[in-house]
Amino acid sequence: MPANGVSKRNKTQVSMLTSRLVPTLTRVILERKWPWIPAADTLLDPHYLFQQQASPRPLFLSCAQWSNRQEPKQKRNLSEKKLKRYFVDHRRVFVTGGNGGNGMSCFHSEPRKEYGGPDGGDGGDGGHVILKADKHVRSLSSVLSVYRGFDGEPGGSKNCYGRNGDCLYIRVPPGTLVKEENEIVADLSQPGDEYIAALGGAGGKGNRFFLANDNRAPVTCTPGQQGQERVLYLELKTMAHAGMVGFPNAGKSSLLRAISNAKPAVASYPFTTLNPHVGIVHYEGYQQVAVADIPGIIRGAHQNRGLGFAFLRHIERCRFLLFVVDLSVAEPWTQLEDLKYELEKYEEGLSQRPHAIIGNKIDLPQSKVNFPQLQARLEQKVIPLSALTGENLEELLLHLKELYDDYVETEGKQGREPLNW
């Protein structure tokens, strides 16, 4: 007799019974799905059962082991493609006004009343699609690509008119330009400004409308008109106060994360940022400066290389620029020359906008060698800093405020309202 009191013969019998009770396939699936649960054979193994009776701990232990085996949840790397909260500064929108309701053709019907006359009502007008500037909206990201207005209701009998379709409002940020075939058709600069993007169709006429002296029983009624269809391009005049311009991997997104509450994706491969992100830097007296992280630009961007010249357009919409140079690469001054060349090729004078030059990654040993060489080649001061360690960020923040104050002053002199965020 074995030590645990179960004979080998008994064990074989129980095992055979288990095989009959639980089909093989089900067992395999169960064992794969819950590996911490002992195999069905083992469960009915008298040896195992005795062990369980002796100490109930193994079950709890297996749960604990399972939870230990699960790897700790790691913070997943942010991918730009998964980030939905990027800044949208231009949109193509297809708008269609609501259709008008059809007119009704019918005659008054009442007992003992012959020739009651026509009483078909008119259809309701279709609703307009209206663009409205709203100061609570910051970007065009909430604007969809297709809008269709509400239709008017058809006319009814007994001279009932159809209900007009409601107007459909599309909320856009103040400072939105509306373009149609490259022509500006509206400038929604102040909050509350409205522009009818698509007119709703007029409602059709009921047969009552056609009642005349020479025609006392008209049967004619007209259908409602179709709503207007238009393709409009919405563009923001200003995207942010400051725009960060730099080569891919220069550390623009890291810098925006360091100075503001924005959370653009950061990774060690080029072209991590595919869409602009805007972060707000807060100063004393509730002053806020908006800084945009713009996708990386390479030499030849104006010829559509890299991410193309679509991104140079974002730079155009920033009032002043922050050139971000990676100090750790060889000859960082060539980066600056290339960036200015590309901006100049895209639009003359763009590189001459008020700007600051930032030398990033000063924490790296190579940067400490390159920085004095870069500074020696430039008349303008370069701000050396590290977005990663936070070294010398204060100097950038002070310089940013100076650029902002100059911008407010210039706008004031020209009688324009500075962009308030």
Ligand X SMILES: Nc1nc2c(ncn2[C@@H]2O[C@H](COP(=O)(O)OP(=O)(O)OP(=O)(O)O)[C@@H](O)[C@H]2O)c(=O)[nH]1
Given the rule CB under 6 A, which residues bind ligand X?
246, 248-254, 266-268, 270-273, 295-296, 360-361, 363-364, 386-388
Q: Which of 253, 328, 351, 367 binds Mg ion (CB under 5 A)?
A: 253
Q: How far is the CB of 83 from Mg ion (least distance, A)?
A: 11
272 binds Mg ion (CB under 5 A): yes
Distant-in-sequence, close-in-space partners of 329: CB < 8 Å, separation ≥ 6: 335, 366, 370
Sheet holding 382-384, edge to edge: 277-283, 287-293, 240-246, 318-326, 355-360, 382-384
Instruction: Pick the closer one to ligand X by CB: 99 or 335.
Output: 335
Instruction: Pick the closer one to Mg ion by CB: 40 or 325.
Output: 325
Distant-in-sequence, close-in-space partners of 296: CB < 8 Å, separation ≥ 6: 246, 247, 248, 249, 250, 252, 270, 271, 273, 306, 307
Distance CA 238, CA 231 (A): 22
The residue range among 132-140, 271-279, 297-305, 328-336 that interacts with Mg ion, by the rule CB under 5 A, is 271-279
273 binds Mg ion (CB under 5 A): yes
Helices 252-259 and 393-413: crossing angle in degrees, nearest 10, is: 80
Instruction: Give the one entry of Mg ion, ligand X, none that residue 246 binds, where binding means its C-beta sits below a cut-off of 5 to 8 angstroms depending on kind.
Output: ligand X
The residue range among 39-47, 208-216, 230-238, 248-256 that interacts with Mg ion, by the rule CB under 5 A, is 248-256
Q: How far is the CB of 296 from ligand X (least distance, A)?
A: 3
Q: How far is the CB of 45 from ligand X (least distance, A)?
A: 54
Instruction: Pick the closer one to ligand X by CB: 218 or 279.
Output: 279
The residue range among 29-37, 181-189, 266-274, 304-312 that interacts with Mg ion, by the rule CB under 5 A, is 266-274
Instruction: Pick the closer one to ligand X by CB: 139 or 272.
Output: 272
Angle made by CA atoms 155, 161, 165, in degrees to the nearest 5: 85
Distance CA 367, CA 332 (A): 9
Q: What are phi and psi of 321, to 5 degrees?
A: -120, 150
Q: How far is the CB of 170 from ligand X (least distance, A)?
A: 31
- DSSP letter at 391 equals T
Total residues binding Mg ion (CB under 5 A): 3
Instruction: Pick the closer one to ligand X by CB: 123 or 246.
Output: 246
Residue at 83: amino acid letter: L
Instruction: Pick the closer one to ligand X by CB: 143 or 385.
Output: 385
Q: Are 160 and 183 in contact (CB under 8 A)?
A: no
Instruction: Give the one entry of Mg ion, ligand X, none that residue 267 binds, where binding means its C-beta sits below a cut-off of 5 to 8 angstroms depending on kind.
Output: ligand X
Q: What part of residues 312-371 is at the interface with Mg ion (CB under 5 A)?
A: none
Q: How far is the CB of 292 from Mg ion (least distance, A)?
A: 11
CA-CA-CA-CA dihedral for 264, 305, 142, 290, to nearest 10: 50
Instruction: Give the one entry of Mg ion, ligand X, none that residue 74 binds, where binding means its C-beta sits below a cut-off of 5 to 8 angstroms depending on kind.
Output: none
Q: How far is the CB of 316 from ligand X (least distance, A)?
A: 18
Instruction: Pick the closer one to ligand X by CB: 179 or 299.
Output: 299
Instruction: Pick the closer one to ligand X by CB: 225 or 253.
Output: 253
* Neighbour tally for 285: CB within 10 Å: 5
Q: What are phi and psi of 114, to 5 degrees?
A: -85, 155
249 binds Mg ion (CB under 5 A): no
Distance CA 39, CA 42 (A): 5
Tokens 């030590």 -> residue: 3
Q: How far is the CB of 78 from Mg ion (least distance, A)?
A: 11
Q: Are 131 and 78 in contact (CB under 8 A)?
A: no
Instruction: Give the one entry of ligand X, Mg ion, none that residue 102 binds, where binding means its C-beta sits below a cut-off of 5 to 8 angstroms depending on kind.
Output: none
Instruction: Pick the closer one to ligand X by CB: 237 or 399.
Output: 399
Sign, CA dihedral 34-39-40-42, equals negative
The residue range among 178-186, 229-237, 268-276, 319-327 that interacts with Mg ion, by the rule CB under 5 A, is 268-276
> Which stretches within 214-331 are classed as H helix?
252-259, 310-316
* Neighbour tally for 102: CB within 10 Å: 23
The residue range among 105-113, 132-140, 246-254, 330-338 that interacts with Mg ion, by the rule CB under 5 A, is 246-254
Instruction: Pick the closer one to Mg ion by CB: 22 or 274.
Output: 274
The footprint of Mg ion (CB under 5 A) covers 253, 272-273
